């Protein structure tokens, strides 16, 4: 098998990255853009010792689950990867990914994984957008990176972003053209504007605009602020984030509010939250409420429990839990997030939630040594999952229930394997689709 060879391939499965899987000349071939059940003519674009990668040249049999992507730049942009599937198939595909991880990494058999909780309207749901800025055709552009590259795909609109985010992005690009504000060049490190970030409150419509820049003194900044605020009255906050680094990290540490308020306010269910430029806040508010309600349901609270909420961020899950528990203790490593969690508790008149700043794997063993034990533990770790030291402390503490909220099924499966080896039993697995 060689690069550029053409094969007829029957697609018999899917990878976790949504590539079709088939065989040619006895070798596994991963086919970009193909769906299980299809028969395609594919061109080989990469060959290794154990597998090959191909792309579809034509279809001999198309899946009934195939649909035309709604985005005009879908094939070039790296933002979405499932638009060629019906939404029903997307949900079944994601359920399969969770099952496969539990079986392959966790070694579990016969675990009941519920159907994925999807969206009624899986469009324009994101409350946060991050647009890299650069030059394209001798003019400033902002959009999303092409697959496996840092080439910016310029697009007027994006079907998964809030329409306000698109309006802000297009307005800022128009203004910097007129004001000749130089955009950042990744290769030379020259220029000023690196990213345009928006945060939108779905409950109020208020917008925060974060301009990631290489220096605080931006030429024409006053005019830029005046025009943004004048043309988009929903903008209640404009913030400069200064990032002088020469790498791919989007945000720097220094933040300066140059217009309006330091935070915007949003609601999740009946609870209110202040959102700051650097705070973690789930990007899909509709599905976040379903996710948190499910976490509270699984916690099985009667009102007498002490609950630990680990990796608690700005206290979103903590405050949902606090309404049903005797006491909630939240642990978070980012000081600004802990400060925000305290403020959010006061904002919602919740007095039974206390927040500690530090690594969960350091704070929880200390609390345990002091005699503080949890009846229920809720964890919502980053993609790398839980530290083994934390898992060990949880096992020693022996909470009646552990509710694990995961954004990465592979590290979830690894951590569940550890807990299952220490007398915990998986009762229920419920995927929720936050990223249609």
Domain ranges of the chain: 6-61, 83-122+284-436, 128-268
312 is catalytic: no
Q: How many CB atoms lie within 10 A of CB 120?
A: 5
Name the more confident of 138 and 219: 219
Whether the pLDDT of residue 289 is over 90: the answer is yes
Using a cut of 0.85, tell me whether the model's pTM lies above it. yes
- What pLDDT is stored for residue 132 in this prediction? 94
Strand intervals (E) in 118-232? 128-136, 139-145, 152-154, 193-200, 207-213
Tell me if domain 6-61 and domain 83-122+284-436 are identical in fold: no
Q: Any idea which of 71-80, 305-314, 326-335 has the lowest mean pLDDT?
A: 71-80
395, 419 contact by CB (below 8 A): yes
Using pLDDT thresholds of 50, 70 and 90, give the confidence band for residue 314: very high
CA geometry: angle 201, 227, 264, nearest 5 deg? 20
- What pLDDT is stored for residue 413 in this prediction? 98
425's CB contacts (< 8 A; 6+ apart) are: none
Three-class SS state of 195: strand
42, 56 contact by CB (below 8 A): yes
Alpha-carbon dihedral 129, 130, 136, 140, rounded to 10 degrees: 90
The length of the chain, given as a count of residues: 436
Positive or negative torsion for Cα 196, 168, 127, 355: positive
CA geometry: angle 238, 242, 247, nearest 5 deg? 130
- Strand-pair category, 376-379 with 401-404: parallel
294, 432 contact by CB (below 8 A): yes
84, 35 contact by CB (below 8 A): yes
- What pLDDT is stored for residue 79 in this prediction? 86
Q: How many CB atoms lie within 10 A of CB 67?
A: 13
CA 257 to the chain's CA centroid: 25
- Tell the CATH topology of 83-122+284-436: Rossmann fold (3.40.50)
The CATH number assigned to the domain with range 128-268 reads 2.40.50.1070
Locus of tokens 């996710």? 291
Tell me the average pLDDT across 316-345. 95
Q: Any idea which of 202-206, 278-282, 291-295 has the lowest mean pLDDT?
A: 278-282
272, 116 contact by CB (below 8 A): no
Whether the pLDDT of residue 369 is over 80: the answer is yes
CA 360 to the chain's CA centroid: 21
- What pLDDT is stored for residue 40 in this prediction? 98
Using pLDDT thresholds of 50, 70 and 90, give the confidence band for residue 351: very high
Whether the pLDDT of residue 148 is over 80: the answer is no
Three-class SS state of 225: helix
The CATH classification of domain 6-61, taken from the options 3.20.20.70, 1.10.10.10, 3.40.50.2020, 2.40.50.140: 2.40.50.140
67, 44 contact by CB (below 8 A): no
- What pLDDT is stored for residue 147 in this prediction? 80
C-alpha separations of 114 from 94, 117, 429 in Å: 11, 9, 6
- Strand-pair category, 13-14 with 193-200: unpaired
Local structure of residue 407 (DSSP, 8 states): S
- What pLDDT is stored for residue 247 in this prediction? 85
Q: How far apart are CA 77 and CA 73, in angstroms?
A: 6
pLDDT in tens, 371-417: 999 999 999 999 999 999 999 999 999 999 999 999 999 999 999 99
Tell me the average pLDDT across 321-345. 95
Mean pLDDT in the chain? 94
Tell me the average pLDDT across 239-258. 92
Q: How far apart are CA 224 and CA 78, in angstroms?
A: 29
Tell me the average pLDDT across 192-209. 96
Using pLDDT thresholds of 50, 70 and 90, give the confidence band for residue 51: very high
Tell me the average pLDDT across 199-223. 95
- Name the catalytic one among 77, 80, 357, 407: 407
């Amino acid at each position: 098998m060689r690069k550029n060879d053409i094969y007829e391939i029957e697609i018999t499965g899917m990878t976790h990255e949504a590539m079709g899987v088939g065989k040619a000349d006895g070798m596994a071939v991963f086919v970009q853009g193909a769906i299980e059940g299809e028969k395609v003519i594919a061109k080989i674009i990469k060959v290794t010792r154990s597998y090959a990668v191909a792309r579809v040249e034509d279809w001999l049999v198309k899946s009934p689950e195939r649909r035309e992507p709604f985005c005009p730049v879908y094939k070039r942009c790296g933002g979405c990867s499932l638009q060629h599937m019906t939404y029903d198939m997307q949900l079944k595909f994601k359920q399969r990914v969770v099952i496969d991880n539990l079986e392959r990494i966790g070694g579990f058999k016969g675990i009941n994984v519920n159907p994925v909780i999807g969206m009624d309207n899986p469009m324009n749901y994101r409350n946060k957008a991050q647009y890299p800025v650069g030059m394209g055709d001798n003019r400033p552009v902002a959009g999303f990176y092409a697959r496996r590259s840092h080439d910016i795909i310029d697009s007027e609109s994006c079907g998964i972003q809030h329409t306000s985010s698109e309006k802000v992005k297009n307005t800022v690009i128009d203004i910097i053209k007129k004001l000749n504000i130089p955009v950042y060049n990744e290769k030379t490190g020259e220029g000023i504007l690196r990213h345009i970030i928006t945060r939108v409150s779905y409950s109020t419509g208020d917008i925060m605009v974060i301009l990631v820049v290489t220096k605080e003194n931006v030429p024409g900044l006053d005019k830029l602020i005046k025009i943004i605020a004048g043309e988009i009255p929903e903008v209640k906050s404009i913030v400069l984030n200064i990032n002088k680094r020469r790498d791919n990290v989007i945000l720097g540490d220094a933040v300066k509010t140059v217009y309006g308020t330091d935070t915007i306010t949003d609601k999740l269910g009946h609870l209110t939250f202040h959102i700051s430029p650097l705070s973690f806040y789930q990007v899909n508010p509709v599905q976040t409420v379903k996710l948190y309600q499910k976490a509270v349901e699984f916690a099985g609270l009667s009102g007498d429990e002490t609950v630990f909420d680990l990796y608690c961020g700005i206290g979103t899950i903590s405050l949902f839990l606090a309404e049903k528990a005797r006491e909630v203790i939240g642990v978070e490593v980012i000081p600004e997030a802990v400060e925000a969690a305290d403020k959010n508790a006061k904002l919602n008149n919740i007095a039974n939630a206390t927040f500690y700043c530090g690594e969960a794997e350091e704070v929880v063993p200390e609390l345990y040594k002091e005699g503080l034990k949890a009846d229920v533990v809720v964890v919502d770790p980053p993609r790398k999952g839980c530290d083994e030291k934390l898992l060990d402390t949880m096992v020693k503490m022996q909470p009646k229930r552990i509710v694990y909220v995961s954004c990465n099924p592979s590290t979830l499966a690894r951590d569940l394997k550890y807990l299952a080896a220490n007398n915990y039993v998986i009762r229920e697995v419920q995927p929720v689709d936050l990223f249609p």
